[in-house]
């Protein structure tokens, strides 16, 4: 099958000819076209992102000016959760929890992979559509339903889930322990179960499509790195998400049917519970078996996008194409055997801690390879510093800054004292949150013309990048210090510890950057939505890129290419190749007579 | 009030920003006819310089942080194993700073140096095995060193050998406070389980267990300087984490199991307060508090107490609404003071008996001897016991 997918091509061509005119519903709502589904994912993701970032701005205000009264709190949280405009400690934890859940799962997993895997896999490998358009549609709508359930959980009477995004039992299992563990947690679990179903359908589709539907000549070693990243990400998702599903199901059993998978010897609210023999540590294992690969599910697509954007805009081949693939594979493999580094002090046997320290620090090697390869790609390039490129360079910067502190957290000995402090918050926000977000922005700026047929405003893009870049460092860099000072995360206020009084002005600074950075995302939103209608019309290949998506017409059509699917004759990174007049040679251009392959 | 103003200003700024963005956008139409996202030479130039500027920003921000916030971070560890952790931490930091400094310079400098120009052609440089081997092998070697150092330290800290001279103390976590139980003269904790919890016996100690006879329960954690303290953690409801940052010690408390951590304190509380850095830190905190107090008094509220340093045990695993205020004072005494303090405490069994007596006394003037037998039968209802050696 693989590279020569003739059978499929014919089938699709046939379908294409007989296509009926779309109604509004089949075109915009229940679409089975991958390009439309990508846009649906993106816009849902932006909506969820606005909510997720908005929540963080609220609790950052509480952290900077603890227990002060704000009109915005009364407005958004209501009298119950913000009496007289003062945020309560219950809702503080809920905000933190839902912020984490939305950003990690709904924005950086579903929206990032959902948008770009859907848009780019068929277009870059030369396929008419996904292997199964219907499954693809179902995947999106399950994601939509799970988003709605998650948002609905914000409005239940006792408040949404508030046990942290990691929902460790017994806290998440016992409504006696925290009000959010009642209806709010039930909805959280239901939402996540649906979400996982959606994610699995999507991932299966991506894997099958990449394996089966590549056009003629598109061997695995001619795939753009974006596709490699999406492909491997989907595989990690298929391996690890079911484990989270099982953890969620077992937790549901413990909560509702009296089982004791995670509960044992508990005395709460004046009575002894009957549960015996379970262990919360088991839940931690199950959760982090997904939770850690999840970091790479979030990060790899961003790195894939960056590889493509940096190569295109450096007008140079990506440096070390095969090394990049090998490091993606190495990261994917290692990511499934490092989960214990979240549990060094969970009470598990210290011997396991030694093993997980070893595997965790190994991940630094492929990560370092990637970072060095990006930097070398820039060297002696002819850099086109458009907004997508800036976000990609920004990603490499935060990936390095955030990744380096992973050497501290991945070392069990050092983790003892910084575990669950703001140092951790700083680390993962930079390396996975901000980096993945930058990757997503880079992708949006780069493929906006492909999605909407129009260009974004460049100068607004520049403003967006620079303010975001400064604020991202402004928020997360100081957090390393307050974490090293021993300040625990998830504290509603630090005023009960005079010991931490000298950290308060740092918190004010962090919040100031967070509010400015958050508000400035409006520039992006304006640019994004107004350009859909008023942006300048694009040309077919605005970035002079080599990959196949730019050979498809600007107007979206079912089946992507009006005639034959282009055939691929070379790898995607022939930029500035000697012997060619132009500084790019698209993948569908046949090799000249006597032209040599100059890469490995 | 000030913060309310800040928020109003921010909201207004947001609206203004949206409008400005729009104006900015509309005003460009005439000026740049070909305003697409594609960067021209002028853009590349500007953005290249900005990239260089950003490099300066990262550097200045880092140096500023080190100077202004550097002194805030945890200092002088108060336990024997602490310096080992701090040494490893310092070695790691040196490494991180070197890599960070070099890579950020290269990244941003290249972004500046090789900013695009019409007519320039990039170098076709697809791979180089030697380079790639170098930057795979060097990190591998460096990391191998870190891993070995880390594992050496980890083994030393976490694998607790029960030496003769340890002091065994149970840390008991519940929403939202800590309790300590001392093993007493025999240095063995009596059995305990939540199913024994009743009245004053809030830790669920099995009072029938002979080992429990001399156990002492306290809301303040006293530990002796110069002796290894072996902590055994329990939790009665949800996950908690016993975090003692100044001792470089942390371990989760898990319902249904006993977790452990051990360390030897090297300073008494009094000695640690005298450390010059701590004197300066406390003075700084107190000046902040005095300022805040003045504001509070002006508003008619009561002033803040002046601060005096104490070691603290904090909860560091989200455990419920009042997680942010789950703390216990740790007092490191000299061994003599510690022994004196421990002697003054009443044991659990004494407390339980006294409580039973107090409850029975009003009903009838029953003899004390008879009561003792009664209390013994009241205790456990279920046979389930957790071995607490």
We report the CATH number of the domain holding residue B175 as: 2.60.40.420
pLDDT single digits (tens) B265-303: 999 999 999 999 999 999 999 999 999 999 999 988 888
Question: Going by C-beta distance under 8 Å and a sequence separation of 6 or more, which residues neighbour residue A43?
Answer: none
Q: Which of A162, A56, A101, A59 is nearest to A492 (CA)?
A: A59
Q: Is A370 in CB contact (< 8 Å) with chain B?
A: no
* Domain assignment of residue B158, yes or no: no
Q: Residue B321 is nearest to which of A90, A357, A496, comparing CB atoms?
A: A90
Q: Residue B106 is nearest to which of A266, A375, A522, comparing CB atoms?
A: A375
Q: Check whether B387 has a pLDDT greater than 50.
A: no
Q: Residue B61 is nearest to which of A346, A388, A473, comparing CB atoms?
A: A473
How many H helices and E strands in chain B?
Answer: 9, 10
Query: If you ran DSSP here, which 8-state letter would residue A156 be given?
Result: S
- Return residues 188-227 of B near A (CB < 8 Å): 193-195, 197, 204
Q: Residue B7 is nearest to which of A70, A168, A281, comparing CB atoms?
A: A70
Residues B317 and B251 in one domain: yes
Question: Going by C-beta distance under 8 Å and a sequence separation of 6 or more, which residues neighbour residue A348?
Answer: A281, A340
Binary contact (B327, A497; C-beta < 8 A): yes
Average pLDDT over residues A340-357: 94
Chain A hits for B313, CB-CB cut-off 8 Å, are: none
Question: Going by C-beta distance under 8 Å and a sequence separation of 6 or more, which residues neighbour residue A531?
Answer: A448, A452, A454, A455, A456, A457
* Domain assignment of residue A23, yes or no: yes
Q: For residues A539 and B168, what is the distance between their CA atoms, to the nearest angstrom?
A: 75
Are A218 and A126 within 8 A, CB to CB? yes
The structural domain count of chain B equals 2
Q: For residues A298 and A287, what is the distance between their CA atoms, to the nearest angstrom?
A: 16
Q: For residues B54 and A90, what is the distance between their CA atoms, to the nearest angstrom?
A: 40
For B377, other C-beta atoms within 10 Å of its C-beta total 8
* Domain assignment of residue A323, yes or no: yes
Measure in Å the smallest separation between the Cα of A77 and chain B Cα atoms: 16
Measure in Å the smallest separation between the Cα of B131 and chain A Cα atoms: 10
pLDDT single digits (tens) A401-418: 999 999 999 999 999 999
Q: Which of A373, A370, A396 is nearest to A319 (CA)?
A: A373
Are B253 and B242 within 8 A, CB to CB? yes
Q: Which one has a higher pLDDT value, A412 or B379?
A: A412
Burial-class residue A580 by CB neighbours within 10 Å (0-12, 13-18, 19+).
Answer: middle
Q: Which of A298, A326, A318 is nearest to A373 (CA)?
A: A318
Q: Is B371 in CB contact (< 8 Å) with chain A?
A: no
Share of chain A above pLDDT 90, in %: 89
Domain edge (last residue) among B55, B87, B117 = B117
For B210, other C-beta atoms within 10 Å of its C-beta total 12
DSSP H or E run through B244: strand B240-244
Q: Is A48 in CB contact (< 8 Å) with chain B?
A: no
Binary contact (A504, B107; C-beta < 8 A): no
CATH assignment of the domain containing A198: 1.20.210.10
**Which of B206, B289, B320, B379 best tests the A interface by mutation, with the highest count of A CBs <10 A?**
B320
Q: Check whether B384 has a pLDDT greater than 70.
A: no
Buried residues in B83-93 as b, exposed as e (16+ CB within 10 A): ebbbebbeebb
Q: Is B100 in CB contact (< 8 Å) with chain A?
A: yes
Chain A hits for B237, CB-CB cut-off 8 Å, are: 170, 174, 177, 266-268
Residue B356's pLDDT is 85
pLDDT single digits (tens) A280-316: 999 999 999 999 999 999 999 999 999 999 999 999 9
* Domain assignment of residue B263, yes or no: yes
Residues B110 and B50 in one domain: yes
* Domain assignment of residue A167, yes or no: yes
Chain B hits for A346, CB-CB cut-off 8 Å, are: 252, 254
Binary contact (A280, B117; C-beta < 8 A): no
Question: Residue A278 is encoded by which pair of tokens?
Answer: 């379970």
Residues B97 and B177 in one domain: no
DSSP H or E run through B179: strand B177-182
Q: What is the pTM of this model?
A: 0.91
Q: Check whether B222 has a pLDDT greater than 70.
A: yes
Q: Is A499 in CB contact (< 8 Å) with chain B?
A: yes
Structural domain containing residue B338: 167-271+310-378
Share of chain B above pLDDT 70, in %: 88
Mean pLDDT over each residue of chain B, to the nearest integer: 87
For A544, other C-beta atoms within 10 Å of its C-beta total 17
Residues B232 and B86 in one domain: no
Omega before B176 within 30 of 0, i.e. cis:
yes
Average pLDDT over residues B102-109: 96
Chain B hits for A174, CB-CB cut-off 8 Å, are: 237-238
Q: Check whether B110 has a pLDDT greater than 80.
A: yes
Chain B hits for A101, CB-CB cut-off 8 Å, are: none
The structural domain count of chain A equals 1
Nearest CA in chain B to A575: B124
Grade residue B24 by pLDDT with cuts at 50, 70 and 90: confident
Q: Which of B126, B103, B120 is nearest to A377 (CA)?
A: B126
Residue B161's pLDDT is 80
Residues B101 and B182 in one domain: no
Q: Check whether B29 has a pLDDT greater than 70.
A: no
Residue B160's pLDDT is 85
Q: Is B83 in CB contact (< 8 Å) with chain A?
A: no
Q: Which one has a higher pLDDT value, B362 or A408?
A: A408
Q: Going edge to edge, which strands form the sheet with B216-218?
A: B216-218, B177-182, B167-174, B229-235, B259-263
Partners of B233 in beta bridges: B171, B259
Measure in Å the smallest separation between the Cα of A539 and chain B Cα atoms: 10
Chain A hits for B15, CB-CB cut-off 8 Å, are: none
Residue A595's pLDDT is 87
**Which of B256, B280, B382, B384 best tests the A interface by mutation, with the highest count of A CBs <10 A?**
B256
What is the 3-class SS of A251-308, one letter each residue?
A: HHHHHHCCCCCCCCCCEECCEECCCCCCCHHHHHHHHHHHHHHHHHHHHHHHHHHHHH
* Domain assignment of residue B385, yes or no: no
Binary contact (A502, B285; C-beta < 8 A): yes
For B254, other C-beta atoms within 10 Å of its C-beta total 28
Grade residue B378 by pLDDT with cuts at 50, 70 and 90: very low
Question: Residue A149 is encoded by which pair of tokens?
Answer: 């359930």
Binary contact (B237, A519; C-beta < 8 A): no
Q: Check whether A423 has a pLDDT greater than 50.
A: yes
Residue A27's pLDDT is 78
Q: Residue B114 is nearest to which of A90, A382, A502, comparing CB atoms?
A: A382
* Domain assignment of residue B276, yes or no: no
Residue A8's pLDDT is 47
Measure in Å the smallest separation between the Cα of A266 and chain B Cα atoms: 5
* Domain assignment of residue A568, yes or no: no
Q: Residue B252 is nearest to which of A346, A407, A470, comparing CB atoms?
A: A346
Residues B253 and B341 in one domain: yes
* Domain assignment of residue A48, yes or no: yes
Q: For residues B109 and B54, what is the distance between their CA atoms, to the nearest angstrom?
A: 10
Q: Which of A309, A501, A267, A165 is nearest to B238 (CA)?
A: A267
Chain A hits for B22, CB-CB cut-off 8 Å, are: 526, 530
Domain edge (last residue) among B84, B99, B117 = B117
Q: For residues B98 and B194, what is the distance between their CA atoms, to the nearest angstrom?
A: 52
* Domain assignment of residue B10, yes or no: no
Burial-class residue A349 by CB neighbours within 10 Å (0-12, 13-18, 19+).
Answer: exposed
pLDDT single digits (tens) A119-139: 999 999 999 999 999 999 999
- Return residues 285-304 of A near B (CB < 8 Å): none
Grade residue B165 by pLDDT with cuts at 50, 70 and 90: confident
Nearest CA in chain B to A85: B4
* Domain assignment of residue B156, yes or no: no
Residue B383's pLDDT is 37
Share of chain A above pLDDT 70, in %: 96
Residues A34, A324, B49: CA angle, nearest 5 degrees: 90
Chain A hits for B7, CB-CB cut-off 8 Å, are: 61, 70-72
Q: Which one has a higher pLDDT value, B21 or A493?
A: A493
Q: Is A596 in CB contact (< 8 Å) with chain B?
A: no
Q: For residues B379 and B389, what is the distance between their CA atoms, to the nearest angstrom?
A: 20
Q: Check whether B375 has a pLDDT greater than 70.
A: no
Binary contact (A400, B107; C-beta < 8 A): yes
Average pLDDT over residues A31-57: 95
Q: Which of A96, A118, A133 is nearest to A43 (CA)?
A: A118
Average pLDDT over residues A16-37: 76
Structural domain containing residue A111: 6-551
Q: Is B94 in CB contact (< 8 Å) with chain A?
A: no
Are B227 and B262 within 8 A, CB to CB? no
Grade residue B363 by pLDDT with cuts at 50, 70 and 90: low
Q: Is B360 in CB contact (< 8 Å) with chain A?
A: no
Q: For residues A477 and A401, what is the distance between their CA atoms, to the nearest angstrom?
A: 9
Q: For residues A381 and B126, what is the distance between their CA atoms, to the nearest angstrom?
A: 12
Cα dihedral: A24, A28, A33, A37 (round 10): -170
Q: Residue A365 is nearest to which of B140, B150, B252, comparing CB atoms?
A: B140
Say what the ipTM of the complex is. Answer: 0.92
Chain B hits for A405, CB-CB cut-off 8 Å, are: 96
Question: Residue A438 is encoded by which pair of tokens?
Answer: 């930058």
Q: Residue A576 is nearest to which of B61, B62, B124, comparing CB atoms?
A: B124
Average pLDDT over residues A544-570: 94
Binary contact (B318, A93; C-beta < 8 A): yes
Q: Check whether B357 has a pLDDT greater than 90.
A: no
Establish, for the pair of chains A and B, how many residue pairs have beta carbons separated by less than 8 Å. 441
* Domain assignment of residue A490, yes or no: yes
Mean pLDDT over each residue of chain A, to the nearest integer: 93
In this structure, chain A runs to a length of 600
Domain edge (last residue) among B117, B148, B179 = B117
* Domain assignment of residue A590, yes or no: no
For A451, other C-beta atoms within 10 Å of its C-beta total 18
* Domain assignment of residue A193, yes or no: yes
For A36, the 3-state DSSP assignment is helix
Binary contact (B127, A361; C-beta < 8 A): no
User: Rg (Cα) of chain A, in Å, rounded?
Assistant: 24
Q: Is B257 in CB contact (< 8 Å) with chain A?
A: yes
Residues B176 and B105 in one domain: no
* Domain assignment of residue B63, yes or no: yes
Grade residue A29 by pLDDT with cuts at 50, 70 and 90: confident
Q: Check whether B31 has a pLDDT greater than 60.
A: no
Helix-helix angle A34-64:A133-152, to 10 degrees: 20
Binary contact (A421, B143; C-beta < 8 A): no
Chain B hits for A404, CB-CB cut-off 8 Å, are: 96, 99-100
Whole-Å CA distances, B185 to A260, B168, B182, B210: 37, 10, 9, 12
Nearest CA in chain A to B287: A502
Are B170 and B313 within 8 A, CB to CB? no
Nearest CA in chain A to B324: A491
SS3 content of chain B, % helix, strand, coil (to 5): 50, 15, 35
Average pLDDT over residues A571-599: 91
pLDDT single digits (tens) A73-119: 998 998 889 999 999 999 999 999 999 999 999 999 999 999 999 99
Cα dihedral: B201, B205, B206, B207 (round 10): -60
Question: Going by C-beta distance under 8 Å and a sequence separation of 6 or more, which residues neighbour residue A572?
Answer: A124, A222, A223, A224, A308, A311, A546, A547, A587
Backbone phi, psi, residue B231, to 5°: -90, 135
User: Rg (Cα) of chain B, in Å, rounded?
Assistant: 31
Q: Check whether A483 has a pLDDT greater than 70.
A: yes
pLDDT single digits (tens) A154-189: 999 989 999 999 999 999 999 999 999 999 999 999
Q: For residues A256 and A63, what is the distance between their CA atoms, to the nearest angstrom?
A: 35
Q: Which of A479, A357, A345, A347 is nearest to B249 (CA)?
A: A345
Residue A487's pLDDT is 96
Q: Is B278 in CB contact (< 8 Å) with chain A?
A: no
CA A134, A136, A138, A144 dihedral sign is: negative
Grade residue A495 by pLDDT with cuts at 50, 70 and 90: very high
Residue A163's pLDDT is 94
């Amino acid at each position: 099958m693989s590279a020569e997918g003739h059978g499929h091509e014919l089938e699709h061509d046939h379908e294409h000819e007989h296509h009926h005119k779309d109604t509004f519903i089949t075109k915009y709502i229940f679409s089975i076209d991958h390009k439309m589904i990508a846009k649906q994912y993106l816009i849902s993701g932006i909506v969820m992102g606005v909510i997720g970032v908005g929540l963080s701005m609220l609790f950052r205000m509480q952290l900077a000016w603890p227990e002060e009264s704000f009109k915005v709190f009364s407005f958004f949280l209501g009298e119950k959760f913000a009496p007289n405009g003062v945020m309560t400690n219950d809702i503080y934890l809920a905000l933190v929890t839902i912020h984490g859940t939305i950003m990690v799962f709904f924005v950086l997993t579903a929206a990032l992979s959902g948008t770009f895997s859907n848009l780019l896999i068929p277009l870059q490998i030369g396929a008419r559509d996904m292997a199964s358009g219907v499954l693809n549609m179902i995947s999106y709508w399950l994601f939509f339903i799970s988003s709605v359930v998650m948002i609905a959980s914000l409005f239940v009477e006792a408040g949404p889930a508030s046990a942290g995004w990691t929902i460790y039992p017994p806290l998440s299992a016992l409504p006696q322990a925290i009000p959010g563990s009642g209806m709010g947690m039930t909805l959280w679990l239901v939402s996540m179960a649906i979400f996982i179903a959606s994610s699995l359908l999507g991932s299966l589709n991506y894997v099958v499509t990449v394996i089966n539907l590549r056009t003629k000549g598109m061997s695995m070693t001619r795939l753009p790195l974006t596709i490699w990243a999406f492909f491997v990400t989907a595989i990690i998702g298929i391996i690890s998400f079911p484990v989270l599903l099982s953890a969620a199901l077992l937790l549901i059993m413990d909560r509702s049917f009296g089982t004791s998978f995670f509960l044992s010897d508990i005395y709460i609210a004046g009575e002894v519970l009957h549960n015996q023999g379970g262990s919360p540590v088991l839940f931690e294992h199950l959760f982090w078996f997904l939770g850690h690969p999840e970091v790479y599910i979030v990060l790899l697509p961003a790195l894939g996008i960056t590889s493509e954007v940096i190569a295109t805009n450096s007008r140079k081949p990506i440096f070390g194409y095969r090394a990049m693939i090998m490091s993606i594979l190495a990261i994917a493999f290692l990511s499934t055997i490092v989960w214990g580094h979240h549990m060094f002090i969970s009470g598990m046997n210290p011997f396991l801690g030694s093993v997980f320290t070893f595997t965790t620090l190994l991940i630094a090697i492929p990560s370092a390879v990637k970072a060095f390869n990006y930097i070398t790609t820039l060297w002696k390039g002819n850099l086109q510093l458009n907004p997508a490129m800036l976000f990609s360079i920004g990603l490499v910067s935060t990936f390095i800054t955030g990744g380096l502190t992973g050497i501290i957290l991945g070392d069990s000995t050092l983790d003892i004292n910084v575990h669950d402090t703001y140092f951790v918050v700083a680390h993962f926000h930079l390396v996975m949150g901000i980096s993945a977000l930058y990757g997503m922005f880079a992708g949006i700026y780069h493929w906006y013309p492909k999605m909407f047929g129009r260009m974004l405003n460049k100068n607004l893009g520049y403003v967006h990048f620079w303010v975001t870049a400064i604020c991202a460092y402004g928020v997360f860099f100081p957090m390393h210090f307050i974490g090293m000072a021993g300040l625990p995360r998830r504290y509603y206020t630090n005023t009960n510890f005079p010991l931490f009084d000298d950290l308060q002005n740092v918190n004010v600074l962090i919040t100031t950057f967070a509010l400015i950075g958050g508000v400035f995302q409006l520039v992006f939103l304006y640019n994004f939505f107004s350009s859909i209608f008023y942006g300048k019309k694009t040309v077919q290949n605005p970035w002079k890129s080599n990959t196949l998506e730019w050979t498809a017409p600007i107007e979206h059509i079912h089946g992507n290419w009006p005639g034959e699917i282009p055939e691929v004759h070379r790898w995607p990174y022939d930029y500035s190749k000697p012997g060619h007049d132009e500084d790019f040679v698209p993948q569908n251009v046949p090799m000249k007579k006597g032209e040599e392959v100059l890469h490995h | 009030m000030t913060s309310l103003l800040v928020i109003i200003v921010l909201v207004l700024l947001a609206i203004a920003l949206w409008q400005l963005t729009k104006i900015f956008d509309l005003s460009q139409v005439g000026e740049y006819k070909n305003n697409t996202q594609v960067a021209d030479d002028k853009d590349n130039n500007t953005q290249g310089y900005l990239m260089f500027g950003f490099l300066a920003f990262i550097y200045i921000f880092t140096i500023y942080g080190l100077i202004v916030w550097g002194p805030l971070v945890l200092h002088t560890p108060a336990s024997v194993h602490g310096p080992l952790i701090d040494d490893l931490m310092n070695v790691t930091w040196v490494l991180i700073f070197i890599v960070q400094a070099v890579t950020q310079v290269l990244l941003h400098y290249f972004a500046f140096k090789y900013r695009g120009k019409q007519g320039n052609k990039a170098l076709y440089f697809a791979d180089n095995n030697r380079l790639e081997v170098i930057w795979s092998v060097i990190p591998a070697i460096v990391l191998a060193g870190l891993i070995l150092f880390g594992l050496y330290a980890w083994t030393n800290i976490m694998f607790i050998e029960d030496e003769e001279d340890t002091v065994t103390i149970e840390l008991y976590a519940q929403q939202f406070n800590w309790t300590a139980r001392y093993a007493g003269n025999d240095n063995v904790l009596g059995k305990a389980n939540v199913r024994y919890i009743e009245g004053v016996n809030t830790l669920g100690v099995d009072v029938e267990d002979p080992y429990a006879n001399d156990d002492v329960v306290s809301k303040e954690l006293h530990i002796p300087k110069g002796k290894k303290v072996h902590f055994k953690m329990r939790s009665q409801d949800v996950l908690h984490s016993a975090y003692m940052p100044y001792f470089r010690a942390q371990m989760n408390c898990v319902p249904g199991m006993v977790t452990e951590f051990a360390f030897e304190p090297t300073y008494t509380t009094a000695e640690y307060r005298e450390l010059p850095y701590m004197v300066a830190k406390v003075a700084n905190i107190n000046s902040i508090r005095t300022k805040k107090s003045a504001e509070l008094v002006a508003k008619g509220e009561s002033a803040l107490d002046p601060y005096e340093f104490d070691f603290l045990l904090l909860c560091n695993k989200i455990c419920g609404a009042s997680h942010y205020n789950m703390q216990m004072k740790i007092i490191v005494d000299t061994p003599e003071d510690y022994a004196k303090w421990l002697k003054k405490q009443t044991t659990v069994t004494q407390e339980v008996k006294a409580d039973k007596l107090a409850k029975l006394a009003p009903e009838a003037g029953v003899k004390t001897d008879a009561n003792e037998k009664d209390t013994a039968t009241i205790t456990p209802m279920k046979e389930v016991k957790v071995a607490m050696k």
